[in-house]
Structure 1
Amino acid sequence: MTTPAYDDANIFAKILRGEIPAVKLFEDDAVLAIMDVMPQTEGHVLVIPKAASRNVLDADPAVLAALAPRVQKIARAVKTALGAEGITIMQFNEPAGGQTVFHLHVHILPRFAGVELNRHAGGMAKPETLIPVRDRIAAALAAA
């Protein structure tokens, strides 16, 4: 079975090009980290490589090598900023694997014992609710 070609009209490609606004947390030459607009928990962050990759199955190994340490650094900051007891890191591949946006991205979710995640399609958060959380995580990143 052939993997479909990368579609540069996906929402993350548009965010990377500045065509759609996002609450940005971190950016460097390899990745952009943003607050998820449909958070499953307070502090839900997405880390998106800038390279055009549908998912982990077609990503260049160099993209993955650059992505992993950045996910780790941001996850540590999320855990610290939110006082989380744990972190869930998720990455989905292909429709049967749960992928709905076909640009490689990693979810970072702060977790607390006994607290269930919200539904991902449970509604969009307003930027004014995401910005204070982003600022707390950004401060933890800067202190790291």
Structure 2
Amino acid sequence: IYGSVEAAEATVAHCERAFPAAAAAAHMHRGCLTLAKGNFKAALSEFQTAVTLEPGNVTAATNLAVCLLYCKDLPRAIQALEAAVRANPAGGLTHAVAFNLCTLYDLEGADAPAKKRALQIVARAYAPEDFDPAACKL
């Protein structure tokens, strides 16, 4: 399936039939497939459904945020990651999520240092012991 969107679609369809309870994962995979085809609007819908089904799923939220950036919607990209962290602060605030969120804050420009400090406070309270504070880019 490497490099073949059609083969990936067939694999995802097979997995959807074999594992119907994994609806959020199916929507996330469909989102990736439609994103690979350049259909950002359809991908956005798939990622939003995945996040609705599993609000604390940071992978789905990250994919949603990336898709929103492709759609030139920085404020909603930030909201997507912030919502995932709020829904699952202990498991959702990984180094990668913090770094991505702080990068979005930098792109936004407005009050980025204050938002990063607030995120760092949340990280101190909830993130795992191996969380690297440098992810907050202060």
Q: TM-score higher than 0.5 here?
A: no
- Which has the higher Rg, Structure 1 or Structure 2? 2
Going by fraction, where is helix more abundant, 1 or 2? 2
- TM-score calculated relative to the size of structure 2: 0.28
